[in-house]
Every structure is written in structure tokens, then in C-alpha cells.
Amino acid sequence: MTDSKLIELFRSLTTRQRSRFGEFLESPYFNKSVDCIRLYRHIQKYAPDFTHAQLSKKAVLKKLDSEKQPDEKTLAYLAGKLMQLAETFLTIEAMLSDEWRRQMTLVRQYRELNLARHYRSARADMEKYLEKLPHRNIDFYREQLFAERLLYDHSDRNQRGFNEQLQTSADALDVYYIAEKLRYACEMLNYEAVLNIHYRIAYLEDVLNWSAGEAYAQVPPIQVYRCLVLMLRSPEEPALFEKARELIAKTEQHFSDAERKQFYTLLLNYCTRRINRFGDARFLKEHLEINKLLLQNGLMLEDGHIPPWDYTNIVAAGIKTEQAEWTRQFIETYRSKLPAQYADNTYRYNLAQYHYFMKNYGDAQHSLLQVETSDVLLNVTVRSLLIKIYCETEQDELLHSYLEATRIFLHRNQLLDPQLKRQMQKFVEFTAKFGKVMPGDRERFHELLAQLPPASEMMHREWLAAQIRSKVER
């Protein structure tokens, strides 16, 4: 039984949930099967991993005390029934933890029972609860739609005059639909930009036109998502980025932490796009300032940890914007926030990046040589930085041998993305050519500079071009 869906479900429950499920089974309102209780008690003994030999079908059958000898068919029936009870338990637990759903269900039940006084009281409580919700985000407008629809269902739908509740319900639907449509459009446009894929976004122009209307000017999610959609559709217009960022800062009290992080992530992706596609160095600072804001507001951490790629991106932005002191402080302060399995490697690599920027080449080289490079992408990144160090410190013999070792590594490696592999191979090839040019041979340096592939075909092109120019200018 250890591989069954039932056991898999029990493994995912917390100790408290398993205890409450035991209490649930004891209630005759939900369960009258003594065999189900007996089966669960036996299974529960082997929590939390549920891998004990006593959970084999043969062992479990021996534990079932029944008037007739149980067989595997009986066990399968009991396990299926216990699974159904567990699903009912999870559904009830979810309902009990959702105060809003309880309020709406109670209003509906009192209406069906024709209890007018109870209905009015429950309806008032529901409306108060909705008004006290902490945010005015899409979730709020969804709940408002459900509430208005419920009240419309309970209105006099046979009246011949104007039904105000019908109008209110329809208006709530419009607000929710436009906001949710814009949110979906944001996600789709973002994925299109990041992953180079295409989505069909139906009626987007209509929704953008509707959302510009005065009726929605004071609806925070509509205005924020509208700004983000316009920004993502037009990366060539940085003014749209400024407008989106200002609006997010102005309205962020209306949104949850998760939503605010999503907004700022979209802004960060836009910054990256401006930097990579348009070469707009101004957005390096924007990228760093947004990350500082996320750190300050506690939005960067996930389960108390900072993702390694975010840590690395922040260090890179800090270095490129020449905020050395802040960057070094960040590296040390957030080292303890890195996930344990990535902490040492991520810290050492980024410390090496910092030392390289400060031209402390010995310290940078020392940190890099301590990085464990079983991850292929990290391996390539470390190799790239070591090549730069050997080149800039004119360790020619070490540079040539390391370039050859890297060439062989790339040739043999089958795990690296093919495009990235080709870009790295070009970097190794042209750096090797650069290293073989005799000092003072300006003509050959000029030829090599002209031969460099575009940045889309070779990693670190601008760095190598700068190295060649420095030789020409000597």
C-alpha cells in the first residue's frame, strides 16, 4: 500500500491534519464504518513517512478484524472509502478556513429556508466582511461579483420595473472581467518577451479601450494592469515604464505582498529587456533600485531565503552601476539568506565577481577556485571569469592552457544549451587568437577587432573588444 494514492495523501498532511482527520472519522455524522477507523489507526502508526513493512497489503489484511476473513478486494474497498472520507475532510477544512465562503453559504441557506430575519442579519454580516477585506485587488472584485450575483438571485426577478440589483451585478461582472483579462494579458505578454513564444490574446484592444473609461479610473487593479500591458507591448517607450512604476508605488496598499512582488518582477523583466535589446544602461540602475525596494519591503525572500539567481543578478547590477560599497555589504548581509545547498557556491562566485570589479585579481581567482562546478552553467560562468582574470593579469601561459582545457570541456559536454555552447566556443576561439598576437602588432589587432562576431553569436564580446582596443592604444 505504500505506493497508493491514499498513502501519498497521508504523507502530505501535517501532524495536526492527520490528528483532526482521526477525530473526523470518529464522528458518526461523517463515518459509520468501524473498519475504516481501524484501517486508519493502523496506517497512522507509521507516520510521517508511511514506508514500514507493516503497510504491505498482506500485513494490513492481518490487522483488519472482521466477521469474515478480509481479502484484497475488501481492502481495496476500504481504502477507496477511506480516500473518499479524506477528500470530504479536506473539503470541509477548506470551507471552515474560508470565512467569506461560509458567509455566502449561510446567506444562501437562510434564503432557501425562508428565514427572513436570519437572512437579513447574515446578509449584513456578509457585506460588512466584504468591506473590511484589506485589499482592493482582483480577489476583492471577484468576491464582490459573487456577492452581487447572489443578491440578484435573491431579488424579485419577476418585477416589471428597473431591477437595481441586476444592474449592480452586471457592473461588478464588468469590473472583474476587465481586471482579470488585463492580468492574463500581462502574464502572456511577459512570457512572450522572456521565452520568445506567442499567445493569442483575444479582444485586448477592446479591453484596453474599455479600461480607459472614467468608470474604471478608481479601480486599482484595472489601472495597474492596464499600465503594465501598455509597457510590455511597447518596450521601445521607456516613459510607459515610468508611469507603471509610479502607479504601482501609489496604489501598492491595495495589493497583497505576492501581487506587489509580481508587479515589480514585471518591471525587472522590462529593465532586463531594455538592457539586453536596446543597450540602455540607464535601466541597470532602475533594475538595482527595484531590487533594493524588494529587499527593503521583505518581498525578495521566499520562505526566508533569497533565490540564488536573484542574489547573483543584484550583485551584477550593483557592480555595473559602480555601487561597490553597497554591493559588498549586500554580498555579506544576505549570504546567510541563501538556501543551504547553494550558499557556498553562490557566495564565492559573487565575491569573486566583486573582487574582479575592484581589480583584486588574486582574491577573485582564489574565490573562483573554491567554487564547486558540477552545475554546467556555473562551470561555464566560472571559466569565463577565470579567462578574463588570466588575460588581464597577463598570465599568458596559464591563459593558453586554460583556454585549451575549456575548448575540450565544451566539445565533450552534451548538457549545455547548444546556442550557449556556440557562443562560449566563439569566446574561447577569439580569446585564444587575441592571446597569440604579438605585442605592438596593431595591424593584426585591428584585423581581429573587425573579425569579432556580433554579441548575439559570442559571449563577452564587448569585454574582448575592449581588451583588443587597449592593446591598439598602447
Rounded CA-CA distance 60/78 in Å is 11
Cα–chain center distance at 453: 35
Long-range CB contacts (within 8 A, 24+) of 104-109: 104/146, 104/147, 104/150, 107/150, 107/154, 108/150
First to last CA, the chain: 76
Q: Residue-wise pLDDT tens for the chain (474 aa)? A: 888 999 999 999 999 999 999 999 999 999 999 999 999 999 999 999 999 999 998 888 887 766 666 788 889 999 999 999 999 999 999 999 999 999 999 999 999 999 999 999 999 999 999 999 999 999 999 999 999 999 999 887 777 789 999 999 999 999 999 999 999 999 999 999 888 789 999 999 999 999 999 999 999 999 999 999 999 999 999 999 999 999 999 999 999 999 999 999 999 999 989 988 888 889 999 999 999 999 999 999 999 999 999 999 999 999 999 999 999 999 999 999 999 999 999 999 999 999 999 999 999 999 999 999 888 989 999 999 999 999 999 999 999 999 999 999 999 998 888 989 999 999 999 999 999 999 889 999 999 999 999 988 999 999 999 999 999 887
3-state class percentages of the chain: helix first, strand second, coil last, to nearest 5: 75, 0, 25
Per-residue CA distances from 184 to 235, 279, 374 (Å): 18, 29, 38
Question: Which residue in 254, 249, 251, 291 sits closest to 269, CA to CA?
Answer: 291
Helix/strand/coil for 302 = strand
- Is this model's pTM higher than 0.75 or not? yes
Q: Where are the domains of the chain?
A: 5-97, 133-153+166-300, 373-474
> How many residues belong to the chain?
474
Helix/strand/coil for 279 = coil
Question: Which residue in 456, 465, 408 sits closest to 431, CA to CA?
Answer: 465
